[in-house]
Structure 1
Amino acid sequence: MSGSSNRPVRRRTFVLGSAAAAGSAALAGPLSNSASAAAFGYSDDGSNYVVDTGANLVFKVGKSNGDLTSLVYRGTEYQGYGGMNSHIESGLGSSTVTIRQSGSTILISVAYGTLRHYYAARSGENNIYLWTNKADTSVSATRYILRVKKGLFLNDEPDSYTYTNSTIEASDVFAKSDGQTRSKHFSKLRVMDYDYVGWSSGGVGLWMVRSNHEKASGGPFYRSLLRHQSADGGGLYEILYYGQNQTEAQRFGLQGPYVIAFTDGGAPSSSLFPGTLTTSWADSLGMSGYVGAGGRGRVAGVGITGRNTAFPYTVGLANSAAQYWGSARASDGYFSIGGVLPGTYTLTVYKGELAVYSTTTTVSAGGTTTLNSIAIPSSNDPGNASAIWRIGDWNGTPGGFKNADLMTYAHPSDVRAASWTGNVVIGNNETASFPCYMWKDVNSGLLVYFRLTAAQAAAAHTLRIGVTTAYANGRPQVTVNDAWTSAIPSPPTQPNTRSLTNGSYRGNNHTFTYNVPASVWKTDTSQYNVLRIDVVSGSGTTGFLSAGTAIDALDLLS
């Protein structure tokens, strides 16, 4: 299709939101537009249930399939593009759809096989609350997509694409004529980094406020697509389960609420955010799998010792049924995680994104499990080991390496990326010179130059290379001074989908160790020792889809 230069240009704002960004948005809260003369209630037009929230929002849900078929705010229709509605996955098909009003709440229930999906409206609010209960794998329901009409919120951000783009990978990664890349996968944010996603234009804000993700998978650091935008229209997503670069099995049960929220252009109210949203009004609605606040518990830790205070720490809870997380306080490591379903969980402490401590804890309904101070053993943090040299930080991410930040919102071929090739000299800006990713067909054979003292050269040493994920079983094999080559290491368990090319370095952190004999070192201390790192694998294709891996840190131990 031709370019869009003949299309009208609108002023617009692109927003991916956090609690901090919404701190001054009190007037955009749930009841901010309750002065309308419209009456709260619902009707039946034959094909749809029509809900008027009594504020500025009227929406319709199809009686035959549970699709959101209309979304009118202040008289403007926002729903739909390409003849498609908003719905779970790509639409459920023939479903049983019912509606009832309970005081100031209207609940629409959708039943499709074992799946239950719900829309709720509250009197005087410009919000739609959604829950989805996926009970098993018999139904494909891994996302809710809010489809938005074209031309309302155009933008040219990492997760957008335009008619001037050309496809460079699969059918979902594009390159603009200026060499910048775009894809719906390029959200940049981890789950823990955002509370809402959406757009603002012309005095209207349209947002998807995420749920607490207790039934999602991948943990606090997981990345997946959040929205997309083009001249054809846009989409806002709540991802219930996403298999791309996924590290965990799918969880089942009621997920929500997640909220479609309209505002006067500002951020959605923080009262809608996961962690602050309360839904006692939903306790008596009879939704399948619903557990109110009284049926949940809390875990609190008085502190964490053994931390490296240069890094943030996160505490995660996970079992096969649910996942939660919270930040540890920088001053003493105190943490509190509320709204937890009863059960026994694995508790993991992360330095950055690197697990450095694990235990189990049990949560009961209505109670608080208080944990004594957690002491992280020094040996649990690889960064505590004495090293002759170290490249990067042991924090479970490629942060600080060449191109690391860009790769969360761009393809490796992007014009903004520095060259993926080039050798590294210890003592000469080595971390920023070392590429965050290595591929068999792109930059395998990278050389690291370093000198040793006479005492260091007289002893054997352990070399460590930490990785955060791998594609097509890519893993490092090393050669020292062309005198010794390591065995090819076994591949660790990693996701089997794309990762490095669609904005995610997060997989399963793994450390490869190599015992380098003393006989291979240079005895002349003025000479450089040369470490060669090759990416090996029999899988993958070519270029940036050849076998590859993401680097966390590497060091030569004393």
Structure 2
Amino acid sequence: MSESVQNAVGRRAFVVGGAVAAGGAVLAGPLARTASAAAFGWSDDGSQYVVDTGANLVVRISKTTGDLTSLVYRGTEYQGYGGMNSHVESGLGTSTVTIAQSGSTVLVSVGHGTLRHYYAVRSGENNVYLWTYKADASVSATRYIVRVRPGLFLNDEPDSYTYAPTTIEASDVFRKSDGQTRSKHYARLRVADYDHVGWSTGTVGLYLVRSNHEKASGGPFYRSLLRHQSADGGGLYEILYYGENQTEDQRFGLQGPYVLAFTDGGAPSSALYPAALTTPWADGLGISGYVPAGGRGRVAGVGITGRNTAFTYTVSLANAAAQYWGQARASDGFFSVPGMLPGTYTLTVHKGELAVYSTSVTVTAGGTTTLNTLAIPSSNDPGNASAIWRIGDWDGTPRGFKNAELMTYAHPSDVRAASWTGNVVVGGGTETSSFPCYLWKDVNSGIVVHFRLTAAQAAAAHTLRIGVTTAYANGRPQITVNDTWTSAVPSPPAQPSTRSLTVGSYRGNNHTFTYSVPASAWLTDTGAYNTLRISVASGSGTTSFLSAGTSIDAIDLLA
């Protein structure tokens, strides 16, 4: 957590992921204290269903649209801004809405065409459990947004634009007077990095705890908007499928539960987090597509060999119906991924975010599929190849390159960004930190890398590799060596078609470009520097930071 964020927490601040506001506050969730059962229940006021948790939360849901129209916690209304409610996508419109109570649970069911959405409230809990079932593409249901009244929480972080009056891109990226940029897209985090997103005043916390994303798309490294705040109000998001930077088709079925949680200022109970939450109380509620714990299975791996222990390894499992992931243990590569729907999956081992191994695995209901030690072949990791020089690490990310960390929460034009131009000299130890993480045709195409070769090295042909993590507008690298030899323009690999580099994401499809450089291209003077010019080729894109571009993973010249 940055110093500025630490200073904000404990006043009126936001909390994302595992960060906790100061104050030692009481947690909310399945472990919360139970209030008087007599206060728990629901009523019908004519236009809305009113559900009282019997604790400190009263929820109202429209009988016409299924919108969440009111969230009153400890007597304060938190829901809504600009005349808008909290709902699926931008609101479903006229829907069939019903309510039923089963013991200590009240369930509100919303039907709109083939889509079903559910709100569950439990006696004594200051939580609302939500599920969304999307059967097909007939309804554009891609998110749930919790709209929060303005002025209740402070947020001047990357995903806020309260103090950023100047629009610099589309209608969703803004610049403050001090030159810093703000956008709801600038969440900093991958899906695997957070459990919840929200705000805290120190005495009241409002959070959205994400689901396990088994029906979402993009895997553990996907980045998307999580939250926004402006002078008009704030929003918390559960993204079910978002049309930006997608590398997979959308999945259909039941997504959830994700949990709207109020607390006394602290983080939500960890019992609500996707890795821990169980909902046996929902098994008999009739939720469409619901699969109880007994209908799910687990995959466990004894270990993974062939790892570079300087990197984190993640195991993902995916098919057309579902996706899951888990982190491999640093000591031996052991992993366990529970709660999976039955089926056959592609299991992929990622070094950082780079796929280095894959196999097929079948999951059965109620069973554990145990895998023997997985062995990553040395040739599967490009970092194992012998290189004359290398810039960056082969880990599927631009980590370590100039401006790489900043670009997950700022626009490339941000005042905090170091110059995107400037050439690089191999051998001084700053090759990676001085090479820009992104290249654009209209900004810094033509960056030059200077390097020396020995006589033996200069007498031979060599392969040069450039790894990329994504591209915008078909941007791809073309190289020129010593201004005498130029490569062909490579074909563009499949990449997301939407904005990426300017909205906080380098995540696309990792791809390695290879160039066979003949011996005749090298300088024979061993004291002279060879030059490698890297340009961005593409006829697409517009100008500046929206011209064709690409994100760099690693560059090396093989021995």
TM-score by length of 2: 0.96
Q: Which residue of 1 aligns with 2:546?
A: 545
Q: Which residue of 1 aligns with 2:377?
A: 377
Hey, what's the Cα distance between the residues in 2 that align with 1:332 and 1:420? 40
Hey, what's the Cα distance between the residues in 1 that align with 2:99 and 2:31? 23
Hey, what's the Cα distance between the residues in 2 that align with 1:365 and 1:462? 48
Q: Is contact 1:19-1:273 (8 Å) kept?
A: no
Q: Which residue of 2 aligns with 1:153?
A: 153
Q: Is contact 1:471-1:540 (8 Å) kept?
A: yes
Q: Which residue of 2 aligns with 1:120?
A: 120
Q: Which residue of 2 aligns with 1:446?
A: 447
Shift in Å at residue 34 of structure 1? 2.9
Hey, what's the Cα distance between the residues in 2 that align with 1:491 and 1:484? 21
Shift in Å at residue 202 of structure 1? 4.8
Q: Is contact 1:322-1:341 (8 Å) kept?
A: yes
Q: Which residue of 1 aligns with 2:204?
A: 204
Hey, what's the Cα distance between the residues in 2 that align with 1:113 and 1:397? 41
Q: Aligned to 2:39, what secondary structure does the other structure show?
A: coil
Q: Which residue of 2 aligns with 1:514?
A: 515
Q: Which residue of 1 aligns with 2:191?
A: 191
Q: Which residue of 2 aligns with 1:531?
A: 532
Distance 1:25 1:317, change over 3 A: farther
Q: Aligned to 2:432, what secondary structure does the other structure show?
A: helix
Q: Is contact 1:55-1:126 (8 Å) kept?
A: yes
Shift in Å at residue 25 of structure 1? 7.1
After superposition, what is the alpha-carbon deviation per residue over 1:18-64, rounded to whole angstroms, capped at 9, x for unaligned?
28999x87744434253468610000000000000000000000000
Q: Which residue of 1 aligns with 2:231?
A: 231
Q: Aligned to 2:208, what secondary structure does the other structure show?
A: strand
Identity of aligned residues (%): 82
Residue 249 (structure 1) aligned with residue 243 (structure 2): no
Q: Is contact 2:31-2:271 (8 Å) kept?
A: no
Q: Aligned to 1:553, what secondary structure does the other structure show?
A: strand
Q: Which residue of 1 aligns with 2:98?
A: 98
Hey, what's the Cα distance between the residues in 2 that align with 1:145 and 1:30? 23
Q: Aligned to 1:59, what secondary structure does the other structure show?
A: strand
Distance 1:320 1:107, change over 3 A: same
> Match of 2:201, as an amino acid?
S
Q: Which residue of 2 aligns with 1:7?
A: none
Hey, what's the Cα distance between the residues in 2 that align with 1:469 and 1:27? 40
Hey, what's the Cα distance between the residues in 2 that align with 1:28 and 1:144? 21
Q: Aligned to 1:519, what secondary structure does the other structure show?
A: helix
> Match of 1:133, as an amino acid?
Y
Q: Aligned to 1:144, what secondary structure does the other structure show?
A: strand
Q: Which residue of 2 aligns with 1:40?
A: 40
Structure 1 residues not aligned, in runs of 5+: 1-9
- Within 5 Å, give how 1:475-494 maps onto structure 2: 475-494=476-495
Hey, what's the Cα distance between the residues in 2 that align with 1:163 and 1:308? 44
Hey, what's the Cα distance between the residues in 2 that align with 1:29 and 1:45? 27
Hey, what's the Cα distance between the residues in 1 that align with 2:205 and 2:105? 23
After superposition, what is the alpha-carbon deviation per residue over 1:417-448, rounded to whole angstroms, capped at 9, x for unaligned?
00000000001210000000000000000000
> Match of 1:284, as an amino acid?
G
Q: Which residue of 2 aligns with 1:5?
A: none
Q: Which runs of 4+ in 1 moved over 2 A?
A: 18-22, 24-38
Shift in Å at residue 165 of structure 1? 2.0
Q: Aligned to 1:32, what secondary structure does the other structure show?
A: coil
Q: Is contact 1:19-1:270 (8 Å) kept?
A: no
Residue 281 (structure 1) aligned with residue 281 (structure 2): yes
Residue 354 (structure 1) aligned with residue 354 (structure 2): yes
Q: Aligned to 1:284, what secondary structure does the other structure show?
A: coil
Q: Is contact 2:25-2:203 (8 Å) kept?
A: no
> Match of 1:501, as an amino acid?
T
Hey, what's the Cα distance between the residues in 1 that align with 2:364 and 2:312? 28
Q: Which residue of 2 aligns with 1:3?
A: none
After superposition, what is the alpha-carbon deviation per residue over 1:252-281, rounded to whole angstroms, capped at 9, x for unaligned?
000000000000000000000001001000
Q: Which residue of 2 aligns with 1:30?
A: 30
Shift in Å at residue 520 of structure 1? 1.1
CA RMSD of superposed structures (Å): 1.4
Shift in Å at residue 230 of structure 1? 1.2
Q: Which residue of 1 aligns with 2:503?
A: 502
Q: Is contact 2:153-2:199 (8 Å) kept?
A: yes
Hey, what's the Cα distance between the residues in 2 that align with 1:162 and 1:39? 39
- Within 5 Å, give how 1:64-75 maps onto structure 2: 64-75=64-75
Q: Is contact 2:26-2:265 (8 Å) kept?
A: no
Q: Aligned to 1:192, what secondary structure does the other structure show?
A: helix
User: What is the number of equivalent residue pairs in this alignment?
Assistant: 548
Distance 1:21 1:12, change over 3 A: closer
Q: Which residue of 2 aligns with 1:457?
A: 458
